[in-house]
Structure 1
Amino acid sequence: MSPVVRGLTMLYLTTILLGFAHGMLPPIIPVLEDTFGVSGGMAAQVVTAFTMGRLIGQPLGGTLIDKFGTRPAVLGGPVVIGISVSVGIVTQWFWPLLVGLFIAGAADSMWMLGREVAGVDLVKPNQRGRLMSGFMGFHGVGMGLGAWLGGTVGEEMGIRAVFAIYTGIAAFVFLVSVLIPSAERPPAAPEAAAPTGGSRLERLRNLYLQIDPRLRTTYLVLVFATASMMLYRMAYQAILPLRMDEIGLDPSDIGTLFLVVSFGSLVMIVPAGFVVDKIGRKWATVPSTAIPGIAFLLIPFTGDFGPLIAIAVLMGFANGLSLGSVATSTYDVAPDAVRARLQAARRTVAEVGAITGPLLGGFLAVQFGAGIAFFVYAPVLLIAGALLMFVARETLVKRPATAAA
């Protein structure tokens, strides 16, 4: 087996495994209420803690990877994740669980960025869409399968068993990651690198100025689109279980619904990669934000399991189209010398959406009911779709069929 094939196989395997592990958490949110004696809105903050950790981990991971390569993130991430989530096995209080998941989120974001850059180094630029589609698709499939198991295990055996499984998976991912070949690229020339002095805001501005002036607005739109996507994904994970609990569905039903969404992502892995690499990035990014916006408008009107299954199919299709399309567009825009930091900057700003989703959604769910949160978030997604369609540039460079006369 060639180093490229072996590396991609290990990267995809670890992606689906950690996706599976994280996917076990959302369905047990109602169980956390009973275990720790907290409200539903507070229980949903396990998702907030994890995403706040990701917010911290992004800039750290970007700097680490641009300076030292992918190996420290790919190997160190699973170790920290495993140690952090093991808190859930033993703690009798809710706050240590939140701390553990915060640390796990930071490690997970560094690992995901390292995995991504390692994969980009292994493939050609015209294969990036399929690479990223595979990463996001397998992660989604893993989360769906994990949601199904998490809901069942949490209901039958309690949350301790769920966190024990999560810890074991993280340990196995570390062992598998040792087999991933090092994909570090040579250090960039000094003149190509972004300045590192000055305040944090100044460093961020310097990073932004490395982008081709014609593509800077596109980068900003991609940041906003990522924030909207993170908002809907985290809100869907954290608030949908509360909505389903309101209409009398149990954790196993919640797990089934997430499984349907993940199945849609699985079906779309190959088509989404083809669309992104062959037709155009915007053909994937626009519907992947507009369709969830429409779905969020429909969720408050559902009162039983059947309509939610139909919406889950729609969400699965949209989620499949979103598989790595924005990340691929960002790699098109970002110069190689600062690619990890620009990706990390995009995701750091975008994590505002991931944090806002469950945090504001939990408040709205407690005060007005879970359905209201979906009404509030829908316009954000629709605006992102409009900006991607009418403001952002198409970043796929197609080779002309014939030379100009």
Structure 2
Amino acid sequence: MVYLPTILFSMGEGAVLPLIPVIAANMGADVAAAALVASALVVGQLCGNLPAGWAVARIGERFTMVIAGVISMIAVAGMAFAPVIAVFAASVFLLGFCAAAFGLARHAFMTTRVPLAFRARALSLLGGSFRLGVFVGPFVTAGLLLLFGTEQAAIWFFMACLVVMVVLVLFGPDPEKTHAPLPSSSPLVEDSGEAVSGSIPTVERVGIFRTMWRFRGVLGRLGLAAASLSAVRSARQVVLPLWGVSLGLDAQTIALVVGVSGAIDFALFYASGQVMDRFGRLWAAMPAMVLMGAGFLVLSLTHDGEAAVLWFGMLAAVLGVGNGLSSGILLTLGADVAPKQDPAPFLGSWRTLTDAGGAAAPLIVSGVTAIASLSVAAALMGAVGLLGALGFIRWIPRFSPRQGPPA
């Protein structure tokens, strides 16, 4: 009930993602417009985090997921029946908005209910569930295209995933009831059976913007380091295909290199949680950032060399290792520093900041490539990665992850 709805949602989303620019092009969009439509998903997710934090704090994780699932069905229907490109783009934006609500609901649930002793492993599994869906989804799309010969089949597959997910969340056992929130570290008032005079302590619910202001320190320091990690991750997905194109490789070779990098990334998602729980958050965050930062910097120096293709394959694998080691880090760090009794508003702010880093990276790569070159863009993202590593060294909270009961 915790991981299966996540897999269903991300599998349907992963099946549709590769087809968004294709469908937009079929509706008459040029390359730039098709890229803009595809980016509407990221923009929608960025815009949806703060409202999602408000919704989870007010109505709970379960009903937020149900509402997000129902609205996602409307968005998917809009994608299937869109008469013009504007309606299709609006549907993609709405889908990203709902994806933010779905992801934050699960993040808040795990934050309040998973003990510290194995929090990183649990959240790495949550991140791995998203990665599994995005990894498997394109293969499902390929099979559906082969079977039905139309992109609409993948859209209706997403609709089926959403229906099953909503039914599962709505009528299945409610994890919010079967798993009580962990006790807060703050002193609790015990029931002694005596009459109580004066006011009864209650949990203060703080709004989104007050939460952002109250935690501006951690958001402005650790949050920026986390945003740099999100930016480097996102840049990897853009730079590697473009690098293959700039080397003159065919689509099959590029897909193979990117696929191997993605497979390495997916294979390491649980190892990241093990490292964070056993040795501390820094020992996963810092190697991941150093590997990806150094990988981009070295890649930027190899474009015109004799072994450029070999370097491309090797460094794509290095970036995959770095990205795999970072699985679950953003979720775990957000859970670590969030207020324990009402984490949703803070997590909405945290995820907005990290998603902003991921959304900005492709724009930075595109702009720097247009002004200078792809090599300069890769070097810039490498510098961002190394600066982010320094930020993690300075600002990651120091505590023993072995507190609490053993896993």
What range is the shorter-chain TM-score in?
0.7 to 0.9
- Aligned positions, number: 379
Structure with greater Cα Rg: 2
Relative distance call for 1:107 and 1:234 in structure 2 (3 A) is same
Cα distance in 1 for residues equivalent to 2:166 and 2:254: 30
Does the CA contact (< 8 Å) of 2:241 and 2:258 recur in 1?
Answer: no
| Letter of the 1:386 counterpart | L
Cα distance in 2 for residues equivalent to 1:386 and 1:36: 46
Q: Who is 2:78 aligned against?
A: 87
Does the CA contact (< 8 Å) of 1:65 and 1:73 recur in 2?
Answer: yes
| Letter of the 1:229 counterpart | L
Q: Who is 2:155 aligned against?
A: 163
| Letter of the 2:250 counterpart | L
Relative distance call for 1:101 and 1:305 in structure 2 (3 A) is farther
Runs of at least 5 residues in structure 1 that lack an aligned partner in the other structure:
1-9, 210-215, 401-405
Q: Who is 1:288 aligned against?
A: 288
Q: Who is 1:112 aligned against?
A: 103
Cα distance in 2 for residues equivalent to 1:72 and 1:48: 28
Q: Who is 2:327 aligned against?
A: 323
- Does 2:133 align with 1:142? yes
Work out which of the residue numbers 327, 330, 333 in structure 1 matches 2:337. 333
| Letter of the 1:340 counterpart | A
Instruction: Quote how far apart the aligned CAs of 1:58 are.
Output: 1.0
Work out which of the residue numbers 54, 58, 68 in structure 1 matches 2:49. 58
Q: Who is 2:225 aligned against?
A: 225
Instruction: Quote how far apart the aligned CAs of 1:273 are.
Output: 1.5
Cα distance in 1 for residues equivalent to 2:108 and 2:65: 10
Q: What percent identity do the matched residue pairs reach?
A: 22
Q: Who is 1:249 aligned against?
A: 250
Does the CA contact (< 8 Å) of 2:25 and 2:34 recur in 1?
Answer: no
Work out which of the residue numbers 13, 17, 20 in structure 1 matches 2:8. 17
Work out which of the residue numbers 385, 389, 394 in structure 1 matches 2:389. 385
CA RMSD for the aligned pairs? 3.4
Cα distance in 1 for residues equivalent to 2:258 and 2:69: 24
Instruction: Quote how far apart the aligned CAs of 1:137 are.
Output: 1.5
Cα distance in 2 for residues equivalent to 1:363 and 1:155: 37
Cα distance in 2 for residues equivalent to 1:114 and 1:165: 23
Q: Describe the superposition over 1:118-168 as per-residue Cα deviations: whole angstroms up to 9, x where unpaired.
A: 234443221211110101122112212223444676699454333333233
Does the CA contact (< 8 Å) of 2:277 and 2:402 recur in 1?
Answer: no
Q: TM-score, normalised by structure 1?
A: 0.79
Relative distance call for 1:152 and 1:328 in structure 2 (3 A) is same
Relative distance call for 1:337 and 1:237 in structure 2 (3 A) is same
Q: Describe the superposition over 1:67-93 as per-residue Cα deviations: whole angstroms up to 9, x where unpaired.
A: 222111222222222321333323354
Instruction: Quote how far apart the aligned CAs of 1:103 are.
Output: 0.8
Q: Who is 2:118 aligned against?
A: 127
Which one has the bigger helix percentage? 1
SS at match of 1:336: coil
Cα distance in 2 for residues equivalent to 1:170 and 1:254: 32
Does the CA contact (< 8 Å) of 1:24 and 1:143 recur in 2?
Answer: yes
Q: Who is 2:63 aligned against?
A: 72
Cα distance in 2 for residues equivalent to 1:357 and 1:31: 22
Does the CA contact (< 8 Å) of 2:107 and 2:331 recur in 1?
Answer: no
Relative distance call for 1:62 and 1:170 in structure 2 (3 A) is same
Cα distance in 2 for residues equivalent to 1:367 and 1:151: 36
Cα distance in 1 for residues equivalent to 2:244 and 2:201: 54
Does the CA contact (< 8 Å) of 1:332 and 1:396 recur in 2?
Answer: no
Relative distance call for 1:281 and 1:177 in structure 2 (3 A) is same
Relative distance call for 1:264 and 1:193 in structure 2 (3 A) is farther
Q: Describe the superposition over 1:243-262 as per-residue Cα deviations: whole angstroms up to 9, x where unpaired.
A: 44553533x66655554344
Instruction: Quote how far apart the aligned CAs of 1:36 are.
Output: 3.8
Q: Who is 2:350 aligned against?
A: 346
SS at match of 2:152: helix
| Letter of the 2:122 counterpart | L
Q: Who is 1:175 aligned against?
A: 167
Cα distance in 1 for residues equivalent to 2:126 and 2:330: 13
